[in-house]
Structures are given as C-alpha cells and as structure tokens.
Amino acid sequence: MGTENQNNRSSALTPEILALINASISAAVKEAIAGTGTMVSEALREANKPYVDEAKTRRELREKMKFKQEEADNAKTQRMAKEACSHHYKNGLLAVALVNNFHDRQTRGICMRCHEWFYPREWRIDNPTEENPRGTPHIVDAHPKYHLVVEAAAQQQE
C-alpha cells in the first residue's frame, strides 16, 4: 500500500499545479482551434472562388461579338426590306392589316409582307434611368406612312 502511494505521481501535484496545467492546456487547445479555424475559412474562401478559364472567357467574348454582329446585320437587312417594300400585295391591294386594340383607341397597322409597324402620333415612355426611374413620357410623331392605315381603314368601311 505504501509503494502504491509512492508510484502515484498525481498525489505529488497540488491543486494549484493541477489548475495551472488545466489552464495552459485549455489555452493551447483554444489557440490551436482558433488557428485551424482561420486556416479552414481561408481554404474555403479560396476553394469557393469561381474558377476562371481564360480560353473559355475569350471564346464567350468572341461568340458574343459575333452574335451582336449578326444581330446588327439582321436589323440592317430587315430595315432594307422594309424600305424596299411597297406595302401592297402583287395584285395591288394594300397589305396593311389594322390593329385596333390599343388603350388610346387609335388604329395602328402592320404590313403583312415586311412587318413594318405604322403608328399614329403617340405617347411613348423612355427606358427608365437613374434620374427618372419611371421613364420620361414624350410624344412621337406618326409614322411617315401612317396614311396607309387611314387608307386601309377607309377600304374596310366601303
């Protein structure tokens, strides 16, 4: 029994020394966890950064520019077709269809051959800007060939 007590070294540790050991261990553990936490969060932030493939970015930019060019070409072709269109069918009849369901009750027309839109003098609202989030309304003069709509309306009443 006497030797047992001699071999048990914990009996040599006073409560003060035990408290000191506990405090330093918990401080060391806290420090280690805090350090790991920072490393983990940095690693996560790094891992979550989107991967940027430069070749892909360049290709997308090329495709976007090509698309924009095609869009501009199409718009130009359409514009030329509309300018060349007589807005009449080959048999001489007016190719303008009337559109009546507008809030201002004014009649619009659309050419059934080139899809040109004939509008009367009307209110329009610009795209919203930072200064004018609701857009600025303004009056636009009638389409130069709006008389075709008047003509088509008159023909319908005959």
Q: Is 88 in the site for Zn ion (CB under 5 A)?
A: no
Alpha helices of the chain — where are they, by DSSP H?
Answer: 2-7, 15-48, 54-84, 147-157
Residues forming a β-bridge with 137: 125
Q: Is 87 in the site for Zn ion (CB under 5 A)?
A: yes
Closest approach, Cβ 99 to Zn ion, in A, equals 15
In a 10 Å sphere around its CB, with 0-12 CB exposed, 13-18 middle and 19+ buried, how is residue 82 labelled?
Answer: middle
Q: Which is nearer to Zn ion, 30 or 79 (CB)?
A: 79
User: Under the criterion CB under 5 A, does residue 94 sit at the interface with Zn ion?
Assistant: no
Nearest CA to 142 among 115, 108, 112, 97?
Answer: 108
Instruction: Please report how close the Cβ of residue 128 comes to Zn ion at its closest, in angstroms.
Output: 32
Q: Report the distance separating Cα 122 and Cα 19, nearest Å.
A: 88
Question: Residue 154 CB, nearest distance to Zn ion (Å)?
Answer: 19
From the list 3-11, 56-64, 79-87, 100-108, the region that binds Zn ion by CB under 5 A is 79-87
**Continuous segment of H or E residues that includes residue 100:** none
Interaction between residue 110 and Zn ion (CB under 5 A):
no
Given 99, 113, 120, 142, the residue binding Zn ion (CB under 5 A): 113
Is position 114 an interface residue for Zn ion (rule: CB under 5 A)? yes
Interface segment toward Zn ion; rule CB under 5 A; list 12-20, 24-32, 80-88, 135-143: 80-88
As a whole number of angstroms, the distance between CA 26 and CA 22 comes to 6
DSSP codes joined into one string, 123-151: EEEPPP-SS-TT--EEEEPPPTTTHHHHH
Compare residues 65 and 97 and give the one whose CB is closer to Zn ion. Answer: 97
Contact set with Zn ion (CB under 5 A): 85, 87, 111, 113-114, 116
